[in-house]
Amino acid sequence: MQTDICIIGAGPAGATTALFLAKMGIPHLILDAAVFPRDKVCGDGLDLKVIRVLRHLNPAIVEQEIPNHPHFVPSMGARFITQSGKKADFAHIPAPDAPYPNPLFWCCKRLHFDHFLTEKINPSYTDFRPGTAVNQLLRDGQGWIVQATDAWGKALEIRTKLVIGADGDHSVVLRSLGERKIDRQHYAGTLRQYWQNVEGMTPNNLIEVYFPKDLPMSYFYLFPLPKGQCNVGYGMVSSVLARKKHNLRDLFKKIIAEDPIIAPRFQNAQPLETPIGWGLPLASKRRRCFGDGYLLTGDAASLVCPTTGEGIGTGMMSGFIAARFIQKALKIRQFDASVFAGYDREIYRRLHDEIRTYNLMMRLSPRLYDWGLNLLAPNPLFHWSFRRGVQGWLRTAYQTPIEVNTN
């Protein structure tokens, strides 16, 4: 097979790249080892970056489809729970005549959301091959040879000018480049477990984040889902985990069973699965996300926001940006690194403040970061700042074009 563009991975970052390439009328190939729908361990929260990207694809998706879809739950904001049990709500309840009568978040299982995206792939421009596992990539002069196995066990050899690595933290593209490395200072270990009938979930479906005592650089969360279900998870920066010799599963179980703030809410709840672990490659250690004949997107580019753990929105934004650079490369028929020199700049300028905050706190003290969060959450000035910023965030998501400088 021959193609100019081969996207490896059809999660949010890869699917977004494919969707915008198709919108530009650019033919391409996209491969994924899974057959959709498939599960993906995640917090299942969709922030305003997701909405912004989808509006650029088609405003009807966020104005009609998502609000009427049974697998999506609107969340009007977030609740921070301090170590003392004090609750600080950052909610936006829009009036019916508000200019943006929209929630700040949506929650949807990745099982459903990723399938929701792949169902929008346009076969007129996209050759989508689910169930096709990429085994390795080899350089071939000015291009690549992608060796894969399809859903029927048949070997495939694909020659391509440009590879888009969108295949997550365990990326075969990164391994082929010799770049699959974990820096514990910029990586987090996390767990997810779906539960039914957790008590005390808010009427406005607030996303809840709890900062456990004596466990710095970690957070316990509850994300509301349809039919009384809840995504319950816990994460901690890997360097802190290793230094303190913590066992993440033991900490997670102990919080649910014994923590005086959290445990009472689980007395009558039912787990729907055993805890499942996964890793978060944080954007705080900037990775070179481009080179001769390749671009990296999403988790393969280590683009998880280091202060929130959010990765879907940053991944989709990187897919949108990647599509613009691909369009430029095709126009001039050049795929070397110099064509993509501005790609990292366009990605990281949207994460600059979060990266700076995270790295500052890690240099000072993880415990200082933990103390600051618990002090800041109930602070009236912080609440005032939130209320002041909400309309601007919504206006950006629903009105402001995404600008990408490909020079």
CA atoms within 13 A on the CB side of 296: 26
Q: For residue 68, with 0-12 CB atoms within 10 Å meaning exposed, 13-18 middle and 19 or more buried, which class applies?
A: exposed
Per-residue pLDDT reduced to its tens digit, 12-60 = 999 999 999 999 999 999 999 999 999 999 999 999 999 999 999 999 9
Condensed to tens digits (0 to 9), the pLDDT of residues 272-315 reads 999 999 999 999 989 999 999 999 999 999 999 998 999 999 99
Domain extent listing, the chain: 2-182+282-398
pLDDT of residue 362: 83
pLDDT-derived band of residue 97, with 50, 70 and 90 as boundaries?
confident
Stated as kind and residue range, the H or E segment containing 114 is helix 110-118
Find how far residue 3's CA is from the centre of its chain. Answer: 28
137 in helix, strand or coil? strand
Residue 277 is given by DSSP the state E
- Mean pLDDT (the chain) is 94
Sign of the torsion angle spanned by Cα atoms 242, 356, 90, 206: negative
Q: At what angle do helices 12-23 and 312-332 cross, to 10 degrees?
A: 40
pLDDT of residue 227: 95
Dihedral sign (CA 390, 394, 399, 405) = positive
Chain mean position to CA 199? 27
pLDDT at 398 over 80: yes
Residue 386 confidence (pLDDT): 87
- pLDDT-based confidence at residue 384 (cuts at 50, 70, 90): confident
Mean pLDDT over residues 142-169, rounded? 96
**Contact between residue 107 and residue 205 where contact means Cβ atoms under 8 Å apart:** yes
User: 98: pLDDT confidence band, cut at 50, 70 and 90?
Assistant: confident
DSSP class per residue in 161-192: EEEEE-S-TT-HHHHHHT-----GGGEEEEEE
Q: Is 302 left (phi over 0), alpha (psi -120 to 50) or beta?
A: left
What separation in angstroms does the CA of 238 have from each of 210, 231, 256, 369, 407?
A: 18, 21, 21, 15, 36
Say yes or no to pLDDT of 405 above 90.
Answer: yes
**325 φ, ψ (degrees, to nearest 5):** -70, -35
Q: Where are the beta strands (DSSP E) in 275-406?
A: 276-281, 290-291, 294-296
Biggest CA-to-CA distance, the chain:
62
Q: Which of 170-179, 207-216, 381-390 is the least confident region?
A: 381-390
Give me the mean pLDDT over the 188-192 stretch. Answer: 96
Residues 6+ apart with CB under 8 A from 304: 188, 280, 281, 282, 283, 310, 311, 314
Residue whose entry in the numeric block shows the structure tokens 């988790």: 299
Rounded Cα gap, residues 249 and 253, in angstroms: 6
**Percent of the chain, pLDDT > 70?**
98
pLDDT at position 182: 87
Taking the C-alpha atoms of residue 326 and residue 342, their distance in angstroms, rounded to an integer, is 12
Q: The pTM is what?
A: 0.95
102 Cβ neighbours under 8 A, 6+ residues apart: 51, 62, 94, 394, 397, 398
pLDDT at 369 over 80: no
Question: Is the pLDDT at 115 greater than 70, yes or no?
Answer: yes
State how far the Cα of 135 lies from the Cα of 127, in Å rounded to an integer: 19
Residue 180 to residues 6, 258, 333, 404, Cα–Cα distance (Å): 20, 38, 29, 28
Residue 162's pLDDT is 98
pLDDT at 366 over 70: no
The answer to whether residue 377 scores a pLDDT higher than 80 is no
- Quickly state the pLDDT bin for 361 (edges 50, 70, 90): confident
Closest to 390 measured CA to CA, from 19, 22, 89: 89
Cα 217 to Cα 185, 204, 213, 235: the distances in Å are 11, 27, 11, 8
Q: Under CATH, which number does the domain 2-182+282-398 receive?
A: 3.50.50.60
Confidence of residue 214 (pLDDT cuts 50, 70, 90): confident
